Structure 1
Amino acid sequence: MPPSPYHHGHLRQALVDAAEVAVRDGGPSALSLRDLARRVGVSHNAAYRHFAHRDDLVTEVALQAMAHLLDTMERRLARIRTEDPVLRARQRLAEVGRGYVEYALAEPGLFSLAFSSSSALAQAGDSADRDPYALLGRVLDELVDVGFLAPGARVGAEIVCWSGVHGFSELCVSGALGATTADDRDVALDRVLVAIDRSFAATSGAVVGPEDLRF
């Protein structure tokens, strides 16, 4: 879908929106300020007044991609209706993981761009309400609060979860799982999430019953 026409006074956002379309269509390498200026219908000098370097635009688009990723996670969390606090916390962690993979599959180019920009990651980290990593941290804190994850095991738990779902996402987007059917992929992802769930239960001696992390 082509970007929205440029309207006077909104060139910066028009360039970001056009860049998002370009990355969606052609991956991160498709992002070029000169090409984007042409798409939007302005001179490249006008574009450079808003983004002096390509990296500045990459940062802005990556931040927008992370905001979309966070929205995907939060939409999945909003569906949880379980009242049991322990099961609810466990389901919330699983849905954060599923939301991460869902976004990666829906927007592979933007997903790749989002985590290629150290500047965007740093800026997102400065604002907890726009940082997917901070959301993961809050959900892990909930697991500690309900007694499912031992406090001593909480340290570094973000890396355990992030590595699992990010690696799985990469395998699906550009690796060995790329040709897997959606049903088989869901089964494989469930195994990853259940393994993380069981490992966290072991830290506190929690008894994990037959509850399904799907709801």
Structure 2
Amino acid sequence: MCTGVNIESMTNSEATRTRGARAGSYHHGDLRNALVRAAAELAEKGGPEAVTVRAAARRVGVTPTAAYRHFTNHEQLLGAAQEEAQRSLFGAMAETLDELDPDSDAVLRLFAVGRGYVTFALREPGLFRTAFGNRDRKNSEEWNSPAFDLLSDLLDELVEIGFTDPADRPDAELAAWSMVHGMSALLVERAIADEGPQAREAAIARVLTVVRRGLATGPNADAFQWDPRP
């Protein structure tokens, strides 16, 4: 008797039908969105290296062929995952603003956002790496994000309230972002010794203090008090 072969054949056939049914159960846009969410989940756990079309397809429960209809290669899917990671980063930064007093000045809001940036990196290291880890994307695209726009708006406000001299406004994003991003990356990659929460908070406060000093060039800078501690 060939019962074993028949059962195996039936099992394989059933699996094929199941995968096909899953692929067919998604509308065109729904499957793409599901793949992007899956890619973001993969990035959350394993960073950009974990994001592949096949892995995302497997996570969603569709065939790689179905996934390739939406993303022709790994770079396209990773780019979509990067955009999702940057949206998550922006959400974490914006969340810190919601926790502040509505009347908080731009100085307090800017540095709350900076701390939110570092907190996101420590809480979601995989997404943090992914947000800036796609080297195949144009450099300008990494600066075209909601998080960068939020930083730019706050820096403009610093000029308006006299905290920052207008002459020092050009490219202030680059200086501020580099400092905070650098600290975040060093902590995530454990490039500096983690001597516990208190030492980590002290290091973050020092970096934010240096950023503040660099921006405090306006005529009203001394009028704004700020405590770098959380």
Bin for the TM-score computed over the shorter chain? 0.7 to 0.9
Specify the alignment match of 2:60 in structure 1.
40
The alpha carbon displacement at 1:173 in A equals 0.4
The alpha carbon displacement at 1:76 in A equals 0.4
Specify the alignment match of 2:124 in structure 1.
107
Query: 2:107 touches 2:224 (CA, 8 Å); kept in 1?
Result: no
Kindly indicate whether residue 106 of structure 2 is the aligned counterpart of residue 89 of structure 1.
yes
The alpha carbon displacement at 1:211 in A equals 4.0
Name the Cα RMSD after superposition: 2.4
The alpha carbon displacement at 1:189 in A equals 0.9
Residue in structure 1 matching 2:194, options 179, 186, 199: 179
Kindly indicate whether residue 154 of structure 2 is the aligned counterpart of residue 134 of structure 1.
no
Give the Cα separation in 1 of the matches to 2:223 and 2:179: 20
Question: Which shows bigger deviation, 161-170 or 113-122?
Answer: 113-122
Query: 1:101 touches 1:169 (CA, 8 Å); kept in 2?
Result: yes
**Change in CA separation of 1:182 and 1:152 when aligned onto 2, cut-off 3 Å:** same
Give the Cα separation in 2 of the matches to 1:195 and 1:124: 22
Give the Cα separation in 1 of the matches to 2:112 and 2:139: 24
Query: Which amino acid in structure 2 is aligned with residue 15 of structure 1?
Result: L
Specify the alignment match of 1:122 in structure 2.
141
Specify the alignment match of 1:199 in structure 2.
214
Query: 2:194 touches 2:200 (CA, 8 Å); kept in 1?
Result: no
Query: 1:59 touches 1:120 (CA, 8 Å); kept in 2?
Result: no
Query: 1:90 touches 1:213 (CA, 8 Å); kept in 2?
Result: no
Query: 2:106 touches 2:157 (CA, 8 Å); kept in 1?
Result: yes
Bigger Rg, which one: 2
Per-residue CA distance 1:157-187 (angstroms, 9 max, x = gap): 1011111001000110003335232222111
Specify the alignment match of 1:98 in structure 2.
115
Provide the TM-score with structure 1 as the length reference: 0.85
Specify the alignment match of 2:178 in structure 1.
163
Query: 1:63 touches 1:124 (CA, 8 Å); kept in 2?
Result: no
Residue in structure 2 matching 1:50, options 70, 76, 79: 70
Per-residue CA distance 1:118-172 (angstroms, 9 max, x = gap): 35962872xxxx5211110000000000001000000111011111001000110
**Percent of aligned positions that are identical:** 39
Please list every run of 5 or more consecutive structure 1 residues that lacks an aligned counterpart in the other structure: none
Query: Which amino acid in structure 2 is aligned with residue 39 of structure 1?
Result: R
Kindly indicate whether residue 98 of structure 2 is the aligned counterpart of residue 78 of structure 1.
yes
Give the Cα separation in 2 of the matches to 1:189 and 1:123: 23
Paired residues, number: 204
Give the Cα separation in 1 of the matches to 2:57 and 2:139: 22
